[in-house]
Amino acid sequence: MDNISAFTEKNGVTWAWFTPSFLRTLRPQEVPGLVTIAVGELLIEGSILAQGYLDEPEKTATAFIQSPKWTTRFQSLGHPRTFYRTGDLVQYNAHGTIRYIGRNDSQVKINGRRTELGVVENHSNSISGAFDVIVVAATPKDGQHELVLAAFLAPKEDSGESLSTSETCKTKILPITDDVSTDIQRIKVHLSGTLPSYMVPSIFVPISGIPLTVTGKMDQLFLRKMISNRLRAEPVGATHETVAGDTSLTGPELAIRSLVANAFTFDPATIDMHQNFMQLGGDSLVAIKLISIGRRNELVLTVEQLLTASSLLELAKFLKHDTSIASKSFPFEHFKDTEKPAHVLASAIEQCNVSKDQIEDIYPTTGFQANFMFKNGFHLGMYAGRFVYRLPSNIDPPRFRRARKTTINATPILRSRLVQASQGEVFQVVIDYLPEWTTYPSLDNLPGQELGKDYRFGRPLLYLATAGTSDLNDGVVHFILEIQHALYDGFSFSHVLEQAQAAYEGQDLVESKFSPFVRYLQKQDMATAKRFWDQELLGTKAIPFPTMPSPEHVPVAAIPGSTCP
């Protein structure tokens, strides 16, 4: 039974009768519950079962379950009943046969969505031609990027190229020839038309054969290590000869190669311009990074172009040079058409209670930012997040405080406050200051409400604190960060934490300004954008999530607690 999944995949088996053993299907996460309609885990009972795993009691207890409660619903056999959990996900067909779905240990999360690798493999192999396709999920060796799907293409067994167990170590990544490229394209088109986009592998790698374990099973761990060790270290699978020294590359092509090398931290000499962004191991985070690097160099690309271009050479055709989109920004550039933002500056000085010299910049807010502030006026503190982190015992307090200062100085929005000018407009003001840092004896002494009391116009929107000291509470110290949503969202907050970690490690930080994004928004045709979304969402019936008990119900945010790495 250990090879049931491999056998059914290889031979296209979709149903089977099992005798004489007694089989049931169970919910994967709830063994005691019996399910005969939904997808569940296949259990086997009968004289063919082993007694367990030799000298592995924990593994035995997990795989061999004794007399589940639901067995009382069936005829008693007069003795304790043992079932073996196969790990295979199956489902009853209407006529009583069992359909194999996949493995319960082959489910992974890609971009937060559950993905069944077996489903991707089955669809790929149905169209793969001369290759067997094995799909694995791998994390880049640097550990700083999200999980990616990789599809390995190995010659089918009848071609005589598959490896034996002893030859596993000889498994090699092969060049992507024209024939292989044709197969890859056919698979991608098929998967794109039948599966959600997040289930389409971002990397396709031809290999010399399927590596096997000593027990004759496919060695997925070997494949995961193979791809993880190469992701972001060097491009995976060369299509043609290296073109680093190819003098025939045009200016845009050289620019694309430079952007890719910077975004992936590749040596430009290893980049094959005939590969595309996804084949190189690209994901959404690298795409954002690459586009950001391009904008800093006045080079324009879109995510759609990045993900759909068949090769880097084709991508170069989309590259545009635009001096107006560089991320450079200058203080008060929003007011360049007027001599001085007199009324705005006066409002900022009064509401923030600072001197003119402390004000570094003033520029408009986004609609979301202003909305948070106006709503906060009716529900004080409702739109602030409090994050509590337990600091490691070996942390260096002075170094930690320096990292805080460095991060805040390099991230102007953390030093920003919102003001409402005399004519009603809302602006954000970047101030040269460090947010307050309060010390409490312990977490019990923290105020129940917000550290900032309220987040009104002109008030700080970021507060920092520590609770406990190294001499008290068994040396447990917590760091508390409280921030109003006008300054952050989920994506930017993780970036701030990464910046703080880099600063603590002594790395130089690049200033991350919010003003270029505001400038970008102001250049957009909002009327056209509104018409697009009105048409796109026409007739859509959205269901509020989560559903509130009543229209009057006001949700209360929980206070998250975390541990610093």
Task: Answer whether 120's CB lies under 8 Å from 199's CB.
Answer: yes
Hunting for tokens 């099973």 — which residue is that? 217
Quick one: which H or E segment has residue 350? helix 342-352
Q: How far apart are CA 58 and CA 483, in angstroms?
A: 45
**What are the structure tokens assigned to 244, written together?**
């680093």
Other beta carbons less than 10 A from residue 35's beta carbon: 17
Task: Answer whether 300's CB lies under 8 Å from 319's CB.
Answer: yes
Residue 305's identity, in one-letter code, is: Q
Q: How far apart are CA 504 and CA 498, in angstroms?
A: 10
**What are the structure tokens assigned to 311, written together?**
């090769």
φ/ψ of 252, rounded to 5, equals -60, -35
What's the pLDDT score for residue 17? 46
What's the pLDDT score for residue 94? 66
φ/ψ of 504, rounded to 5, equals -65, -35
CATH number of 251-321: 1.10.1200.10
Domain locations in the chain? 4-103, 107-230, 251-321, 338-535
Q: Which CATH architecture has domain 338-535?
A: 2-Layer Sandwich (3.30)
- Sign of the alpha-carbon dihedral angle for 355, 358, 364, 368: negative
4-103 topology per CATH: Luciferase; domain 3 (2.30.38)
**Residue of 120, 108, 122 lying closest to 14 (CA atoms):** 122
Task: Answer whether 90's CB lies under 8 Å from 99's CB.
Answer: yes
**What are the structure tokens assigned to 401, written together?**
């405080």
**Residue of 200, 238, 206, 198 lying closest to 223 (CA atoms):** 206
107-230 topology per CATH: GMP Synthetase; Chain A, domain 3 (3.30.300)
What's the pLDDT score for residue 164? 46
**What are the structure tokens assigned to 320, written together?**
């545009």
What's the pLDDT score for residue 78? 58
Hunting for tokens 């056998």 — which residue is that? 7
Q: How far apart are CA 310 and CA 496, in angstroms?
A: 34
3-state secondary structure of 481: strand
User: Residue 481 CA to chain centroid, in angstroms?
Assistant: 23
What's the pLDDT score for residue 429? 93
**Residue of 121, 86, 271, 146 lying closest to 204 (CA atoms):** 121
Show pLDDT as tens, one digit a residue, over the chain (565 residues).
Answer: 445 545 554 554 544 544 444 445 545 444 444 444 567 788 888 877 888 888 888 888 888 888 877 776 665 555 778 888 888 777 777 666 777 766 666 777 776 677 888 888 888 888 877 888 989 888 765 555 567 788 899 988 654 444 444 454 567 888 777 788 788 888 888 888 888 877 888 788 888 888 888 877 788 888 888 877 665 444 555 444 444 445 578 888 999 999 998 888 777 887 888 888 877 777 767 788 888 888 878 888 888 888 778 889 999 999 887 765 555 556 677 775 554 467 888 888 999 999 988 999 999 998 888 887 777 654 555 678 888 888 888 888 889 999 999 999 999 999 999 998 877 888 999 999 888 788 888 887 777 655 555 678 888 999 898 888 654 445 688 898 888 888 998 888 888 988 899 899 888 887 888 888 888 888 888 888 889 888 888 888 777 777 778 777 776 655 444 444 4
What's the pLDDT score for residue 4? 53
What's the pLDDT score for residue 376? 62
Hunting for tokens 């807010």 — which residue is that? 365
